[in-house]
Amino acid sequence: MSVPPAFELDDVHFAYPDGHAALDGFSLRVEDGERVAVLGPNGAGKSTFCLHLNGILTPQQGSVRVCGEPVDRKTLQEVRRRVGVVFQDPDDMLFMPTVAQDVGFGPANLGLSKEEIRVRVEGALAMVGMSGAGERPPHYLSFGQRKRVATATVLSMEPDVLVLDEPSSNLDPRGRREFGEILGSLRQTLVMVTHDLPYALQLCDRAVIIDAGRVVTDGPIRDVLVDDELLQAHDLELPVGFHPDAIWAARARP
């Protein structure tokens, strides 16, 4: 029996009340287990695309399916369990007095037993390297630690798809590296929306460029990032002196 795609958007159109067409015939299919970098200039439709994946926004035309199921009112709760979104600012996701309460909030809303919630909390914190931090107040943690805890709040729901909005933003070099190692160890389908092209190359195999509400490029990430003309056309830029083959060669080593 074949595994359905992690998600599929087909000819999706969405305009905001001011008339701005954020998605304009957007189509994208991502298979189970893929790791995909979503790139593009500001205002291209990247955030709007992400909000369609877990039903925060719904298409005005076209369709969205997650793990083979259409995203609609009947499936919304299950879709939001299957697709976890980690926002750029962890403080948008942390609001409880302790780390454990934050990480256990989602499982508690599923009606799980206290023991199952405890197991999920401990497991999620272990996955992000925050074991033993359950009783700490989130606002006393460093930014990088809060980023990990915010990720754990999503992982505790045992999602199939993990969507990360600018995961390396505001992290110092060590935090950036450590968070990348955590993301690299996860088993979920990974969608990373980012302007950090080296980070995307480090963690993803496929790159999708979105511009003007449509997918304009979709291919192996190394091939996309060595195309200077393509990057320039969509306001994307590699760091000065950086060449994708530096990371690509490191990834190829055992």
SS3 of 211-238: ECCEEEEEEEHHHHHCCHHHHHHCCCCC
Q: What is the largest CA-CA distance in the chain?
A: 55
- Cα separation of 54 and 34, whole Å? 18
Q: Can you give the pTM of this predicted structure? A: 0.92
What pLDDT does 3 receive?
A: 87
Domain range summary for the chain, segments of one domain joined by +:
7-89+141-252
Query: Which residues does 249 contact at the CB level (< 8 Å), separation at least 6?
Result: none
The dihedral region occupied by 163, where left means phi > 0, alpha psi between -120 and 50, and beta the remainder, is beta
- Cα separation of 100 and 122, whole Å? 8
In tens digits, the chain (254 residues) has pLDDT values of 688 999 999 999 999 999 999 999 999 999 999 999 999 999 999 999 999 999 999 999 999 999 999 998 899 999 999 999 999 999 999 999 999 999 999 999 999 999 999 999 999 999 999 999 999 999 999 999 999 999 999 999 999 999 999 999 999 999 999 999 999 999 999 999 999 999 999 999 999 999 999 999 999 999 999 999 999 999 999 998 888 887 777 776 55
CA 210 to chain centroid, in Å, comes to: 15
What pLDDT does 247 receive?
A: 77
What pLDDT does 245 receive?
A: 82
Query: Which CATH homologous superfamily contains domain 7-89+141-252?
Result: P-loop containing nucleotide triphosphate hydrolases (3.40.50.300)
Half-sphere exposure for 108 (CA within 13 Å, toward CB): 10
What pLDDT does 242 receive?
A: 84
